[in-house]
């Protein structure tokens, strides 16, 4: 049976671990050719290897999403490898320290903004520039940004991260409005607590103080695969009337 993104070309940032790796694998399982991009080169290489070991097609590329030239080179690499770019998942992100605003170090704030906001902006910009040169596939070109439930509500323990993910949601709706009639759909996923290294302070097994934990309707940690299947569905023609939407995948944490 054909996959839901059969024949498409997908680019995933932050593909070396966690949610990004799971999404890269799911894209390949659903028939896409995949470029796995990460600042940790070996981890992106390993993701591509895992895809190839399952019989999929994948390549890897080093990128620091805060570096405009490197981001442009990443998109060029994708096109040189596979001829076009149909689906992008802008997922690279960092948490930054747990701290209140008064004590938040300026350099940490700058780093969170650089990766989560400027990085997502630069990737989206380069991807849109490429997509506008192409004939849209059925269901449109797609961009899915990884925001967070912290892009919809406040988590006061991670103020800079909260600001950055609200910005990702804003960027998503702005880009969706701009390019909806030019064959590009832009959505965001808003994960709750997903089992990756990043979420350790928020998980039930964490020793961190209780204000960092979030109560959920479904009482388990999310898995990277819970996010991956949503990202790939938002990248398929099955979701062709959905754009500009931040979609929660949080076990009902905000319900």
Query: How far apart are alpha carbons 70 and 214 in whole angstroms?
Result: 36
Looking at residues 4 to 43 of the shown chain, list those that interact with ligand NAI (rule: CB under 6 A): 13-14, 16-20, 38-40, 43
- Taking the least distance from each CB to ligand NAI, the nearer of 120 and 130 is 120
Q: Which of 1, 197, 207, 210 binds ligand NAI (CB under 6 A)?
A: 197
Looking at residues 135 to 194 of the shown chain, list those that interact with ligand NAI (rule: CB under 6 A): 146, 148, 191, 193-194
Check if 161 is active-site.
yes
Indicate the DSSP class of residue 180: G
With binding defined as CB under 6 A, does residue 48 bind ligand NAI?
Answer: no
Query: How far apart are alpha carbons 15 and 37 in whole angstroms?
Result: 6
Q: Mask: binding to ligand NAI, 81-120, rule CB under 6 A, as x and -?
A: ----------xxxx--------------------x---x-
Query: How far apart are alpha carbons 222 and 156 in whole angstroms?
Result: 21
Indicate the DSSP class of residue 98: -
Contacts of 81 (CB under 8 A, 6+ apart): 33, 35, 59
Query: How far apart are alpha carbons 81 and 77 in whole angstroms?
Result: 6
Q: Which of 52, 57, 64, 201 binds ligand NAI (CB under 6 A)?
A: 64
Report H helices in the chain. 18-29, 41-53, 68-82, 106-112, 119-131, 159-179, 224-234
- Taking the least distance from each CB to ligand NAI, the nearer of 139 and 192 is 192
Query: Which listed residue (82, 104, 109, 161) is catalytic?
Result: 161
Residues forming the site for ligand NAI (CB under 6 A): 13-14, 16-20, 38-40, 43, 63-66, 91-94, 115, 119, 146, 148, 191, 193-194, 196-199
List the catalytic residues.
Answer: 161
């Amino acid at each position: 049976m054909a996959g839901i993104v059969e024949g498409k070309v997908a680019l995933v940032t932050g593909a070396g671990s966690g949610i990004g790796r799971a999404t890269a694998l799911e894209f390949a399982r659903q028939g896409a050719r995949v470029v796995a991009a990460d600042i940790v080169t070996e981890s992106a290489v390993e993701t591509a290897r895992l895809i190839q070991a399952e019989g999929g097609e994948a390549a890897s590329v080093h990128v620091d999403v805060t570096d405009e030239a490197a981001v442009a080179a990443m998109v060029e690499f994708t096109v040189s490898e596979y001829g076009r770019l149909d689906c992008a998942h802008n997922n690279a992100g960092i948490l930054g320290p747990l701290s209140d605003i008064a004590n938040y170090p300026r350099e940490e704030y700058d780093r969170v903004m650089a990766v989560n906001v400027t990085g997502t902006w630069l990737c989206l910009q380069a991807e849109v520039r490429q997509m506008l040169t192409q004939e849209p596939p059925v269901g449109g070109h797609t961009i899915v940004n990884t925001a967070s439930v912290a892009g919809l509500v406040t988590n006061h323990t991670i103020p800079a991260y909260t600001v950055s993910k609200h910005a990702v949601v804003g960027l998503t709706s702005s880009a969706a409005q701009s390019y909806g009639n030019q064959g590009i759909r832009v959505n965001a996923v808003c994960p709750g607590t997903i089992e990756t290294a990043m979420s350790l302070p928020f998980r039930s097994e964490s020793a961190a103080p209780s204000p960092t934990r979030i109560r959920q309707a479904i009482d388990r940690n999310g898995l990277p695969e819970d996010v991956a299947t949503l990202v790939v569905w938002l990248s398929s023609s099955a979701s062709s009337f959905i754009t500009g939407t931040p979609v929660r995948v949080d076990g009902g944490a905000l319900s």
